[in-house]
Structure formats: structure tokens, C-alpha cells
Chain A
Amino acid sequence: MGNKITVNPITRLEGHGKIDIFLNENGDVEDAYLQVTELRGFERFCIGRPAEEMPRIVPNICGVCPTPHNMASTKALDSIYGVTPTPAAKLVRTLQYNANFIEDHYIHFFFLAAPDFVVGPEANPVERNILGVINKVGLDIGKRVIDIRRRTRDIIKLIASKPSHPEGGLPGGVPRGIKQEERKTIIETADLCVEFAQFALQLFKDVVLKNKDYLDLILSDVYNLKTYYMALVDENKKVNFYEGKLRVIDPNGKEVSFFHPNDYTEYIGEWVEPWTYVRLTYLRKIGWKGLIEGDDTSLYRVGPLARFNVSEGMATPLAQKEYEQMVSTLGKPAHHTLAYHWARLIEALQAAEDLQRISIDPLLTSTDIRNMNFQFTGKGIGCVEACRGTLIHHYETDNEGLITKVNMIVATQQNAAPIGLSVKKAAQRFIKGGEVREGLLNMAEMAFRAYDPCLGCATHTIHGKMPLVIDVHDHTGNVIKTVSRGA
């Protein structure tokens, strides 16, 4: 290998959604780093506020995943106030949470992932978007996605008032229950969601898995990354989005940790590298081993593929069958980054089936929706699986319930180092001897999108530009090529 490259500290100043690729003296890829503009000062912002305000503040962190933040925060409050939600309240929360999973996964799949496959990675970029997908597979599918989204958001609205800024989030319960007359619409939505989930999976199989080129792409080494994986599982070690214990498996599938989220600080370390503001996570018991994959790594991934790998199956029957097919095609653990998309669709099916189960549960319409028997503890850790991965909210308060400490471990933070590695592998294919071949941006983007990363500042649309920019640096750190799309 060439000489060690001094990383140019100027890269810290540059904006979000940026990747820096560093070449060695031979002009080949040495490293690649994902730069994420991390939002700063959240802890300071929260200190001194009443803990019960947190569920209403945290959805403002991100315009893309407000519901998971609201839910993790609410669970942290349960812990601070030492209270267990009533069974009916838990059903209502899970109803809301499943609706969010369905909505979010389909928006990602049809708007961001499907264009890679349905339109194709070599297609004209102007066509490789949702409009291109509609032109290929028909307007009806687009309308069905929009309809599912509207129906699932209506469920969230029913419970939390505003899907984009969930309200409520009460320790020990939920702000309102479900009325008997509302059940019918929920049942209809659940049935439609199960039907659509099966359709979406069939589309994925027909368009992607039966296409040799795409299947080869999924299976290719370029998109293979050997890491540890972490996710919540239930008491049967099945996938669960709302609760459970965190399970960690090694790159060969062996369980190495199984712990309650309250103990996360013993298992998850946060590391700072000079080239980024993001605190990269690693498995503390192994120690920081740097940005490497393989058996010697201490990096782990979270999200749909991690949940597939970590669990011993899906919690619902139809999703379980799909899981089994994925296992037989890819093996387990599956290190194929593009398989995040397949896992995502299976999860949408589990969320839909669970929605069905809840919609017909007699307890759903119970009025016993709040447990007010508080035993104040002053410390709370709430953990859920967000669509894009494990999410942990950790709060501590003084005796009056005012916040004294906040820490959050978010999904994209945990995936940040692996994303850099995935992009590096794509880059190694397209950059040789300092020559940057066409196709670099497409392939790097595909790796990037598979993780469904959540970048800060992601609520603006008027710029109309690609947020992903790639700077290629020579061995002295100088930028020799910038690859981007748009302006």
C-alpha cells in the first residue's frame, strides 16, 4: 500500500451528503468518508426543559422520521416516571408505529430504491426517479403508493394529531384511544396494506430478482460488506420494531451480545475521527478497530438488513415466508448491502400484518389508556427500531424532572462508517491509476441509498440539487475531480 495519506482537515468545513475519496500514490482508492452535517447543540438546547416536553421537541430534529423520535422519547419518559403503559395504550402506540413503518418504507422503496432497478442504474439520470418508475410500471402503482401513504398517515393523525410532528407522547399511555367507529377504517387500511405489501414484494421479485443483471449486482462483491449487526428482537428473537432486547451478531452470524437497551453504554462506543463531526459507533467490548470490514472489524450495521440478520425470523406468518425465501437466496447472515431493499419490503409486510392483528383486537378500543401510577426515577432510556435502524434516546433529570443530560444514538450515525466503506468499495471499481471512470456516481449512490440514510437539514426542497457530491483527492489531499449531478 502507498504512504499514509494525511486527511485534509478542510473537508470538515464542507456541506452535507458529501463523500471524500482519497487516492494513494498509485492513484488507486485508499479511503472514502461520508461527510454528514451533524446538527449541533441539541443537548444544550434541551437542558433545563421539563422532560415531558421532549416528545414534542424531538420530532423537530428531522423532518423525515418524526414518529420514531417521538416514540423513543415517549419510552424514555416511561422510564423516567417509572411507569408501564396499559396494555391498550401499548396497542395504540404499536398501531401508530406500524403505520409509520409502512408509510416510510414504501416512500423510500418506490421513490428512491425502485428507480435504481425498475428504470435501471444506467438510465438517464433525469428519468431515474419516481416519474420514470411510473412511466415504466404504470400510473396505478404510483396512485396506490400515494393512497397507502394517505391512509397510514390518517392513522398517525388519529392518534398523534400531526404525522409530520407527532404530539402526545405521554408517559404511561397515549393521549387518546381508538373509538369503535374508527375501527372499520383501520381494518380496511390494514387489509389494503397487507395486499399491497405482497404486491410490492412480487414486483421486487419479478423486476429485480428474476433479472440476472440485477441479481448479480446484489450478489456482487462491490456491494458486499462484512460487519457485525445489531437490532431489537422480541422474546422469541423475532423482529420487533417497538420493544425487546438488543442483539448483536458477528460477521459469521454468531450471537456476541444480548442486552437490555438500558445497558447500551456498556456495549456501544462513540468514536470521533478528525475528518467528521459524526460520532462513529463501534462495539465497545471489541474496541475501536478503525474503518475496516471483515472478521476483525468492530463496526456494526443497523436497519432492515441488520434486523434480518440478527433475528431468528419475522414475527408474522406471511412475512416469515418471505424471510425464508430471502434466507434461501442470500444465506444468513447476508452482507449484501443492496439487500437492505428486500428486507425493507418484508418488514413492510410484517408491519401490515401486525396492523391487521391490532385492528381486530378487542382491547384496541379500551378506554384504559393511561397508567398514572408514577414512581419517579429521573433517568430514562427509550429504544425503538426506526425504519432506518436502531434509535436510542437517553435522558436524565434533576429531582424536579428538568433535563440535565441528553444523549441520542441515531441510525445513520451508526451506519455512517459502514456507508463510507460501501462507497469505498464502489469507488475502487471505478477509479484506477487516478482515472475516474463514468458510472462512479451511479454506483456510489446506489450503495448510499440502500441504507436509506437520514441527513440533517433534509427538510428543504427548493434547492433542487443533488445533495450527494463526491470529491476525489490525490495522494497529497488536493481535489483532482468533483463528481456531482445538477448545478
Chain B
Amino acid sequence: MRERAMDLYEHQARELLDHGGVLVPRAEVVDSPEAARAAAERLGGRVVIKAQVKTGGRGKAGGVKRAEDPAAAELTARRILGMDIKGHTVHRVMVAEPVEVERELYLGFTLDRAAGRFLAIASAEGGMEIEEVAAHRPEAVARIAIDPAEGVTGAKAAEIAAAGHLPPETAGTIRRLWTVLTTHDALLVEVNPLVVTRDGAIVALDGKVTLDDNARFRQPSWDGSADRTEARADDRDRTRESLEARAAAAGLGYVKLDGQVGVIGNGAGLVMSTLDVVAGCGARPADFLDIGGGASARVMADGLSLVLDDPDVRSVLVNVFGGITACDAVADGIVRALDTVTLTKPLVVRLDGNNAARGRAILGQLAHPLVHQADTMDGAAARAAELAA
């Protein structure tokens, strides 16, 4: 399983909005101060430099600055590139033409999980403080459910604009944003601020889009986009990214964490639970690795060699409850992995459920000095935590 939601960078979101007919400022994305200067020259001199990171609060962190001329654009880009914003390093900036803002509004479409529908969210009070407005004066933020069979018609767009106290002229933009959401299989399309300019145009000044990875099969244009644009990263990020990329290629659900106990299990819920039990034993999990339902010996072998290659891992815990997954296949996978990988770290295995006895016998026969078996999930976690200490 891959990650299921893909956040886009602002510049990627801007491109989708632009193609969808929503007005956006002219802009270019660059990765050097010199290129920022050249872009500013092309855009008419005065520009806004915006850090491209996948996190909110860029403005407050100093990641969004005006520049009065190309020389200032170069200087500003030099300051922002390389900046750390909430743990995200800035590798690219967007150089955008400035917009004369009359009013700032908020408009978004997001999933209401409980109702199982998409919601329009609209407010006449857009801008940086929208989260606070939503928290303290919820009545200032309108939430309108969308009937999936009808979508956003002209009448619905007018209703959304009225409910959010947006000018009636925003109705066209509301419909276009809905079309962006549905045609691209997005889980979230958010424009904050949506601005009314001095000359009355409705412009998306900033945009956020999250795509649904489950729709990849019908959205072929996504391949090769998204995360691969992040070219450089520090060493820690690189280790993480290379392990996660290997996992994705092998079809494993993997998330790198920052502890010492490598965790492998079957099923997202059981693996999450295993992380908790490891943490309850006073150790920290090094990863989340789900070999999935019906895992074969080969998948188990891939997963084990991946976790053993993580330099942070000091012990490995394999926790499997065999449902569709057969425990003997898991044990075979461990044996196979040990043919190609030299085990240098202790491995604690707990097998229960389908074919557990056969699986335990296979590991018993292996009689490897670093392979330990445990009878229970809690006991296995305690052992792995102890061995990682």
C-alpha cells in the first residue's frame, strides 16, 4: 500500500487551477537566486517570492516576501531558499506578480468523512487567520454539503456564495473549483485567500490541492509528478526517502520513523497497534511496515531486508496474525531473506492464526542464534524492546 493522499506544492496546485479556468497570478518556479532575478525581470520587476514547502504558516515563518525589483528578488530568494519551515527545507520558490487586493475571501472543497460527502467551505474572512476564525467564530465559516449526484450547479454555487457572504461574482469560480476537484480526483481543493482585486477580478492568490492516490489508475498524468520534484534533501531525508522509495517499488506499506525497533506486521491496524505496544515497553519504533493481507514469502523477504538496511534499527519485531496470510509463508520468507541478508541484529517473531504451528516449526528448525520466537504480541514487543536497548 502506498500513501493514499498526495499533497501538491503550491505551484502544482496553481497549475491545476489555471487549467481549470480559475484566474491565478502569473508566476514562475525557480531554484536559485539568479533564476529568481530573471523571473522577476520577465514578470515586470515587482514580485512576491514564496517558499514552496508542503506546510502551512509560510507567511508567519518569513517564507513569503515582496520584492520591489529584480535585484531585491534575487536577494530575497537567496534568504528564503534553504530556509527551514516546520522541518521542511525550502528548495524552490515561486516568483509571482503582485496582485492589488481589495478583499480576501476563503473558499474550499473538502471531504466530510462522517457524512460521506464533499463540503463547500466559504467565508468572507479569508487570509492568514482563517483557522482562528473557524475555531472562534464558526458562524463566520459556512459549510454546505454537496449532493454527489447533482454536483455544483449554478444554483448551488450561488447558494454557497450567499451562505459564505462572498460576492455573487464568485459563483463562476466556485463551479470551476468543483470541476477541478472532480476531474482530478482531489480530496481537497482550497483557495486562501481568494481575492477580489481593485479592478474587480476574482483571483486565487494561493491554492492547496490534495490528490487521492487510489485514483492513480485513471489519472495517468500524475506519474512522474508530485514528490519527485523535490530534488535535494539532507542525509537523513535521503535515507528515509530511499527506504520509502524501495518499499513503494516492492508494494509495501512503509513509513520510516525515528526509533530503534524495526516493526513488521500484517494489516495496518495490527501494525499500528504493534507500534503502540513497543512504545508501551519503553522503546521507540523505527518504522511502520505492513506486508498486507495474503503476504507471500517473497513479500516477507523484501520487507525484512528493507528494515535490516535501516541504520537506525537495533532489533526487529515481526508480529503476524495469520488470517489470509499464512504463517508458514511468513516463516519461509524469513528463511529466504536470511539466505541473502546476513542477520546482524536480533529478530523477534510472533506468529499466531492461520498455519501458526507450521510457521513456528520452520523457524524452530532454522535454529538461528539471532532469531527469537515469542508466544504473545506483548511478550514479543517487550523482548524486541529489551534487545534494542
A binds B: no
A residues lining the B interface (CB < 8 Å)? none
B residues lining the A interface (CB < 8 Å)? none
